[in-house]
């Protein structure tokens, strides 16, 4: 594969392009002879799924937990990110002695199909052309991502996952698993998510996509070929999205109307307010680690997600006959996936007499709460996994 550094890219871009094709993590390759049939009816092959594992799989392979990551997440859930060198994105929850205790459980976290950290996506080199797929990559769905994960779990020889767990878009994957592959999930924990993407969320995604595509350096998706990066467009997209991850209360407490430089307005378009400086930082650091086309494809997959429509407009039909044990979690100040959308999931599960717990965590930290230090959330997950573990006959 041709992954030689592209000349005029800066170092972070070269590292990013390399990670998309030769990830630092484990990776499993499925050859041309094992194509994946996508929702759009195309066949995709070959396919790579990059993943990280933590802990040890027990003898009867009954202690595996699959963690599904978010829109801009990755497989480095509890280990250092190879580009940013920052700790894993969910080390609050996952690790030795943590609520998802890697001394006890075997944790698997795959990079999703369409992403850019080693699983096949638009930044991957298409072996048929020797160039990145870019917009020749097919539009994939949450269902496609999950079907690719099924391949990985088969490859690892695991019949049934003890738990499938994820927040935000990770929660969509959890719901898709629990609907389409319920026999593979002993338990499932969808967090801060919804069974279908709301029009407001589609609208925010569309703003982000238009920002990326408006950037001349996007080059109709072929920015790698032109040795460019649509930095400005992707940064604006990230800034808009980032606002939706926080609550108004969180912004008040964290920044309020505090100024950057003492207490003087500059009467300019500089970042006078701390919240402006913070957002600009979020935008620019994101561009260093994430692929712009992946951002387009993954937001699209989220927009398309509608478990209700796929089941005759009756969400309960998605879960009929399920034996999976569910824990549904929402956060009071999450306005991206508000509690009422979790309640819809719970109502559907109740309608098919599923085993379901529901917890709404009181917090003012917004959608991102599930990634933050939320003791009640940690205790809830720990308690659920312990109880389910006892039922499953796992040693404590």
Residues that bind a second copy (CB under 8 A): 39-40, 138-139, 196-200, 202-204, 206-207, 209-211, 213-216, 232-233, 235-236, 239-240, 243, 248, 251-252, 255-257, 265, 267-269, 271-273, 275-276, 279-280, 283, 296, 300, 303-304, 306, 309, 335
The torsion region of residue 205 among left (phi > 0), alpha (psi -120 to 50) and beta comes to: alpha
Question: What angle separates helix 274-289 from helix 231-245, to the nearest 10 degrees?
Answer: 120
Residue number with CB closer to a second copy (207 or 372): 207
Residue number with CB closer to a second copy (90 or 297): 297
Q: Determine which helix (DSSP H) or strand (DSSP E) holds 16, and give its type and residue range.
A: helix 11-21
What is the C-alpha separation between 175 and 346, in angstroms, rounded?
11
**Is-catalytic flag, 334?**
yes
Tokens at 89, concatenated: 């994105």
Residue number with CB closer to a second copy (40 or 80): 40
To a second copy, the closest distance from the beta carbon of 211 in angstroms equals 5
Asked if 191 and 374 count as a contact pair (C-beta separation under 8 A), the reply is no
Which member of 365, 367, 368, 369 is catalytic? Answer: 367
To a second copy, the closest distance from the beta carbon of 96 in angstroms equals 37
Residue number with CB closer to a second copy (303 or 374): 303
Distances from the Cα of 265 to the Cαs of 255, 268, 273, 365, in angstroms?
Answer: 15, 8, 9, 28
Residue number with CB closer to a second copy (163 or 172): 172
To a second copy, the closest distance from the beta carbon of 279 in angstroms equals 6
If one counts every other C-beta atom within 10 angstroms of the C-beta of residue 353, the result is: 12
What is the C-alpha separation between 256 and 250, in angstroms, rounded?
9
Residue number with CB closer to a second copy (78 or 211): 211
Q: Determine which helix (DSSP H) or strand (DSSP E) holds 47, and give its type and residue range.
A: strand 47-54
Angle at 370 between CA 49 and CA 203, to 5 degrees: 75
To a second copy, the closest distance from the beta carbon of 262 in angstroms equals 14
What is the C-alpha separation between 306 and 294, in angstroms, rounded?
20
**Is-catalytic flag, 367?**
yes
Residue number with CB closer to a second copy (110 or 230): 230
To a second copy, the closest distance from the beta carbon of 360 in angstroms equals 18
Which member of 124, 168, 187, 330 is catalytic? Answer: 168
Which member of 25, 334, 342, 365 is catalytic? Answer: 334
Residue number with CB closer to a second copy (74 or 303): 303
If one counts every other C-beta atom within 10 angstroms of the C-beta of residue 384, the result is: 21
Residues in the chain: 396
Q: Do the strands 325-331 and 355-361 form a parallel or antiparallel pair, or are they unpaired?
A: parallel
To a second copy, the closest distance from the beta carbon of 240 in angstroms equals 5
To a second copy, the closest distance from the beta carbon of 183 in angstroms equals 28
**Is-catalytic flag, 357?**
no
Separation of CA 358 from chain center: 22
To a second copy, the closest distance from the beta carbon of 316 in angstroms equals 18
Residues 213-232 as b or e (16 or more Cβ within 10 Å = b): eebebbbebebbeeebbbbb
329 exposure class (CB count in 10 Å sphere: 0-12, 13-18, 19+): buried
Asked if 342 and 360 count as a contact pair (C-beta separation under 8 A), the reply is yes
Q: Determine which helix (DSSP H) or strand (DSSP E) holds 329, and give its type and residue range.
A: strand 325-331
If one counts every other C-beta atom within 10 angstroms of the C-beta of residue 130, the result is: 9
| Residues annotated as part of the active site | 168, 334, 367
């Amino acid at each position: 594969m041709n992954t030689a550094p592209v000349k005029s890219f800066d170092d972070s871009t070269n590292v990013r392009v390399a990670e998309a094709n030769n990830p630092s993590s484990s990776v499993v390759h499925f050859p041309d002879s094992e194509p994946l049939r996508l929702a759009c009816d195309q066949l995709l092959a070959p396919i790579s799924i990059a993943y990280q594992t933590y802990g040890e799989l027990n003898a009867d392979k009954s202690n595996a937990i699959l963690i599904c990551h978010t829109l801009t997440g990755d497989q480095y859930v509890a280990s250092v990110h190879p580009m940013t060198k920052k700790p894993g994105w969910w080390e609050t929850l996952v690790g030795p002695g943590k609520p998802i205790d890697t001394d006890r459980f075997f944790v698997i976290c795959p990079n999703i199909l369409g992403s850019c950290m080693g699983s096949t996506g638009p930044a991957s080199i298409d072996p048929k052309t020797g160039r990145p797929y870019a917009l020749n990559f097919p539009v994939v769905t949450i269902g496609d991502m999950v079907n690719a994960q099924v391949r990985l779990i088969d490859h690892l020889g695991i019949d049934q996952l003890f738990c499938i767990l994820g927040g935000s878009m990770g929660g969509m994957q959890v719901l898709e698993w629990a609907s389409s592959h319920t026999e593979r999930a002993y338990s499932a924990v969808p967090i801060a998510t919804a069974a279908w993407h709301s029009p407001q969320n589609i609208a925010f995604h569309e703003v982000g996509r238009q920002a990326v595509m408006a950037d001349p350096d996007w080059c109709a998706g072929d920015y790698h070929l032109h040795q460019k990066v649509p930095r400005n467009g992707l940064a604006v997209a990230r800034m808009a999205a980032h606002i939706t991850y926080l609550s108004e209360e969180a912004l008040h407490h964290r920044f309020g109307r505090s100024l950057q430089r003492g207490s003087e307005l500059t009467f300019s378009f500089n970042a006078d307010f701390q919240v402006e400086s913070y957002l600009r930082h979020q935008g620019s650091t994101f561009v260093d680690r994430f692929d712009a086309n992946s951002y387009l494809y993954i937001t699209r997959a989220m927009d398309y997600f509608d478990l209700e429509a796929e089941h005759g407009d009756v969400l309960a039909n998605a879960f009929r006959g399920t034996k999976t044990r569910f824990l549904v979690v929402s956060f009071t100040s999450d306005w991206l996936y508000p509690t009422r959308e979790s309640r819809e999931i719970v109502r559907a599960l109740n309608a098919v007499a599923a085993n379901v717990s529901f917890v709404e965590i009181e917090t003012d930290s917004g959608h991102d709460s599930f990634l933050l230090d939320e003791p009640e959330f940690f205790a809830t997950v720990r308690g659920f996994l312990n109880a389910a573990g006892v039922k499953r006959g796992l040693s404590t």
